[in-house]
Amino acid sequence: MQYRTLGRTGIKVSPYALGALMFATHVGNPDPDDSARIIHRALDAGINLIDTADVYGDSEEVVGRALKGRRDHVVLATKVSRPMGDDPNQQGASRRYIVTAVENSLRRLRTDHIDLYQIQRPDPATDIEETLSALSDLIHSGKVRAIGTSTMPASDIVEAQWVAERRGLARFHTEQPPYSLLDRGIEREVLPVAQRHGMGTLVWGPLGQGLLTGRVRKGQQNELRRAGFFKHLNDERRLDAVERFISLAEEVGLPLTHLAMAFAIAHPGVTSAIVGPRTMSHLDDLLAGVDVALTDDILDRIDEIVPPGTDVAPLDQAYVPPSLQRAGLRRRPAAERAAA
Please identify which of the residues 3, 16, 56, 319 carries the catalytic annotation.
56
Residues 62, 73: Cα–Cα separation, whole Å: 17
- Asked whether the beta carbons of 51 and 17 are under 8 A apart, the reply is yes
CA distance 313 to 310: 9
Say whether 3 is catalytic. no
Which residues are tagged catalytic? 56
